[in-house]
Amino acid sequence: MGKNDLWIAATASILNLKLITTDGDFDHLDGSFLSLQKILPAEIKHHLKD
């Protein structure tokens, strides 16, 4: 993991937030360190319109 990903994961964990991502960089932390939700890049536009 890169330094920026570590900061993102730590912030999501300490604030008890669900981390939403489009890649697999955080997969190994799901369920033990934080809650993870993956979305497809094509779904981003759909979520922004709501």
Predicted local distance difference test score (pLDDT) of residue 36: 96
Q: Judge if pTM exceeds 0.85.
A: no
Predicted local distance difference test score (pLDDT) of residue 42: 83
Predicted local distance difference test score (pLDDT) of residue 19: 96
Element (H or E) spanning 35, and its range? strand 35-38
Predicted local distance difference test score (pLDDT) of residue 1: 86
- Contact yes or no for 33/12 (Cβ under 8 A): no
Report the C-alpha gap between 42 and 14 in whole angstroms: 29
- Contact yes or no for 17/39 (Cβ under 8 A): no
Q: Please state the domain count of the chain.
A: 1
Report the C-alpha gap between 2 and 43 in whole angstroms: 25
pLDDT digits (tens, 9 = 90+) for 13-50: 999 999 999 999 999 999 999 999 999 888 887 767 65
Report the C-alpha gap between 31 and 41 in whole angstroms: 23
Domain span at 45: 3-49
